[in-house]
Chain A
Amino acid sequence: MAETRSEPAPAEAHEQMGFWQQYIFSVDHKIIARQYLFLGLFMGYVGVFLSYVFRWQLAWPGTAAPLWGKVTPSQYYELVTMHGTIMVFFVAMPVLLGAFGNFLIPLMIGARDMAFPRLNMASFWTIFVGTVLLLISFFVPGGASRAGWTQYVPLSDSTLYLPGNYWGGNLWLLAVAIDFASVLMGGINFLTTAIAMRAPGMTVWRMPLLVWMELVASVLFMLSVGPLIAGVVMLLFDRIVGTGFFLPQRGADPLLWQHLFWFFGHPEVYVVAVPGLGIVMEILPVFSRKPIFGYRAIVWSALVAGTLSFIVWAHHMFVSGMNPNLAAPFSATTIAISVPFAVMLFALIATLWRAQITFATPMLFALGALANFLLGGVTGIPLGTDASDIYLHDSYFVIAHFHNTLVPTAVIGGFGGIYYWFPKMFGRMMNETLGKLHFIFTWVGFNLIFIPLFLIGLGGGQRRIYQASVYTYYKPLQPLHVIATIGLLILIIGQLPFIVNFLVSMFRGQQAEANPWHANTLEWMTDSPPPHENFHTIPVVTRGPYDYSVPGMERDWAPQNEELMAAAARN
């Protein structure tokens, strides 16, 4: 492998490849990243459509939702299950790791491609198969899985509890296992590439923060998913072969599944959130024209938060019937984990302090992400404390909390990343007016959904109820559900400018320069879009990634590969 990598194939050879080799079964990390992006965006809008249908049922129970019809109870549970599954496993991971990680890690560290290009291609086609299986499960007899995105046992364990849901449940487990396998392959590539293939001069403390965050996410994923893969195999055996790993009537402990799921599930939250924050960390300094505040503090915070994330999982299980003595230590670790995140948020806010801020579309999304992630983080504290969680558990407060952590990072941050790197990915600029319109609708719509859901949860509204209006105590909360659904409709309308902007700009947008935002990191030091093998000559890195507005310099940016002599003369 070593001897083939060090001699780049000439770009002309790449041009001569057939369409299939060049665009479908490509081993070029930039093509694979775009494949991931299209897959993730498509699944994202599928997921949004599902949420539209069940939110219609929540706001106006029993009425026919346009484009769907009346929602039956079993459909409702299929919709909420598949919405969660799709958004976490088939949108957030493919977009944040598959698309941004794949596209940016080699470019940002100055490598010609990933360490294992064929493994990279296999990783995409694996998740593609998983996605197809998951979508097929809507159409099998009995419909898609209805057991919730966490697939708690014994509900998910046997058709005894979910009659007729045999194939839907099996396909869910199979699709998720395949998804995990795909991300594992990606993780091997990410870690190996960033550890071993950095350009000369690219020391670890000169790596852009997004690379750090992708690495933290990969390590977290690779070390946490193993037990859940084992758990998924066990659950599949329970369903198909007739074992009883999780069935209490067979002498097993159903809480075992919850432990396996959340041992993975909590790090998984950071697998999604941390790269999303990484995107924000790249955008903020560029549009503030200031160095990021506390680069090393941010890196150490991410490492500490990642380590702590392995010992907080039982805060999801305070009311599960586990040993109550475990609640205190898990509360303590959970509260402790807010410290590194507070450091990161403080550093990001301090980056904005007295900055010359340009409110371009990527910056608007980054600021929106920062604001809502703060709300999401703060509302996690009452959930991580066992005393208050006993009241709030399984309420809409929880829904609003985790949507305020994952949507700002994965979706709002992700959109910011698309606007920011679109010129590099496609060689053309996106339209600013449509972009700002997209931001306003998305951000206002998002908050209009989830601020009411906080209030519903505080009022005692429980999640996963098909028709809450039949309960008297729930009646005063109903208008809030209507507001939330209107918020969702606003968010959906706001996606039209984005889709138009994305598709039109890809072909008709203004030609992008190599470095349209005047940024420092290496991906901007090559053509837009970068040639096959990324760089004409491998850059030699001489400085950190965030040298903006260095006093005494004529420009307010300093590319990472800027020759030291020239920089010294300017200083």
Chain B
Amino acid sequence: MSNSDVELVHSPDVFEGSFEIGKLGMWIFLAGETMVFGGLMVCYTLLMISRGGWGADGAHVAWRLGGLNTLVLFTSSLTAALAQGAARARDAAGVRRYLGATALLGLFFLVIKAFEYSSDFGEGFTPGTSLFWSFYYVMTGLHVLHLLAGVVVIFGLRWLIGPHTTDAWLERKLKYVCLYWYFVEMVWIFLFALVYLIPNVG
């Protein structure tokens, strides 16, 4: 170790060095979350392969509603990205508008999901019906909980924006929230393929 090492590392006043701790923490959190959803999806997929597909069980899943929800969630990610763009343009009103749209689209997703669950239940497909439906309810249910948390956080952030908040603060917080929101959408893309599309094809 030479003396020059001291200069290589940041100055005493800067704690975070070249890292942004909030972003780093969020990425680490999402890595753990990936393993939760990943574990479920791997179990589901292995069991599906070992049984040669889900057969008649999977044919009743409401793929049209699922497809609609995919579009809703895609749009919400677009508005989230627009909110980030507005934050970069220092347009607080725009941020508030797009964040509101994102959260409302999230709520819309949840409403559609509620209709879907109730129609599934109406047709007699409950969590105890079969292994496929057990996985369906646990995986989509866990996703719904994550989405709900996201909606609450987005509304919370939108509510916090005010005259005392700085643009830099807003841009940073928005980045962490959006990172989470995109993750929840990514999970849905996998779920849509695994739970809605593949069982209908096979």
Contacts and interface: CB of A to CB of B under 8 A. Distances in A.
Interface of A: 1-2, 5-6, 111-112, 115-116, 119, 184, 187-189, 191-192, 195-203, 205-206, 222-231, 233-234, 237, 241-245, 250-253, 256, 260, 263, 537-538, 540-544, 564
Nearest to A222: B32
A538 to B, nearest CB: 5
Given A112-B15, A115-B21, A196-B16, A542 B36 contact: no
A225 B15 contact: no
Contacts of B10: 200
Nearest to B36: A226
A260 B137 CA distance: 19
Given A191-B28, A196-B19, A245-B131, A228 B39 contact: yes
A231 B39 contact: yes
Nearest to B51: A251
A169 B37 CA distance: 24
Contacts, number: 156
Contacts of B12: 199-200, 537-538, 540
Contacts of B128: 241-244
B43 A542 contact: no
A187 B9 contact: no
B39 A222 contact: no
A237 B39 contact: no
Contact of A230 (B16, B36, B51, B131): B36
Contacts of B33: 226
A152 to B, nearest CB: 17
Given A2-B21, A237-B127, A187 B35 contact: no
Interface of B: 1, 3, 5-6, 8-17, 19-22, 24-25, 28-29, 31-40, 42-43, 47, 50-51, 127-128, 130-131, 134-135, 137-138, 142, 172
A200 B9 contact: yes
A19 to B, nearest CB: 29
Given A6-B14, A226-B34, A227-B38, A201 B9 contact: yes
B19 A233 contact: no
Contact of B6 (A201, A253, A260): A201
A155 B51 CA distance: 24
Nearest to B42: A227
B32 A187 contact: yes
A193 B150 CA distance: 25
A329 to B, nearest CB: 18
B29 to A, nearest CB: 5
Interface centre among B6, B22, B28, B127 (most CB of A within 10 A): B28
A5 B17 CA distance: 12
Contacts of B32: 184, 187-188, 222-223, 225-226
A111 B15 contact: yes
Contact of A226 (B6, B8, B17, B39): B39
A109 to B, nearest CB: 11
28 contacts: A2-B15, A2-B172, A5-B21, A115-B21, A188-B28, A192-B21, A192-B25, A196-B16, A196-B21, A203-B1, A203-B5, A222-B28, A223-B31, A225-B35, A226-B32, A227-B36, A227-B39, A231-B39, A234-B40, A241-B128, A243-B127, A244-B128, A244-B131, A245-B135, A251-B51, A538-B12, A540-B6, A543-B1
Given A6-B13, A192-B24, A237 B138 contact: yes
A226 B43 CA distance: 12
A437 to B, nearest CB: 42
Given A196-B19, A222-B31, A564-B3, A230 B24 contact: no
B56 to A, nearest CB: 13
A17 to B, nearest CB: 23
B176 to A, nearest CB: 10
A540 B39 CA distance: 43
Nearest to B173: A1
Contacts of B43: 227, 230-231, 234, 256, 260
A251 B191 CA distance: 22
Given A6-B13, A222-B35, A244 B134 contact: yes
Given A115-B21, A252-B47, A242 B35 contact: no
Given A112-B15, A188-B28, A198-B17, 13 more contacts: A115-B21, A184-B29, A196-B21, A200-B10, A200-B11, A226-B35, A227-B40, A227-B43, A230-B43, A237-B127, A237-B137, A243-B137, A537-B12
A187 B30 CA distance: 12
Nearest to A242: B128
A169 B28 CA distance: 31
Nearest to A192: B25
Contact of A192 (B14, B28, B130, B138): B28
B138 A233 contact: yes
Contacts of B17: 196-198
Nearest to B129: A243
Interface centre among A2, A224, A250, A543 (most CB of B within 10 A): A2
B35 A201 contact: no
B15 A223 contact: no
B191 to A, nearest CB: 13
A229 B36 contact: yes
Contacts of B40: 227, 230, 234
Interface centre among A200, A231, A250 (most CB of B within 10 A): A200
A245 B134 contact: yes
Contact of A197 (B5, B11, B21, B135): B21
Contact of B16 (A112, A187, A197, A227): A197
A2 B42 contact: no
Contact of B21 (A1, A224, A245, A256): A1
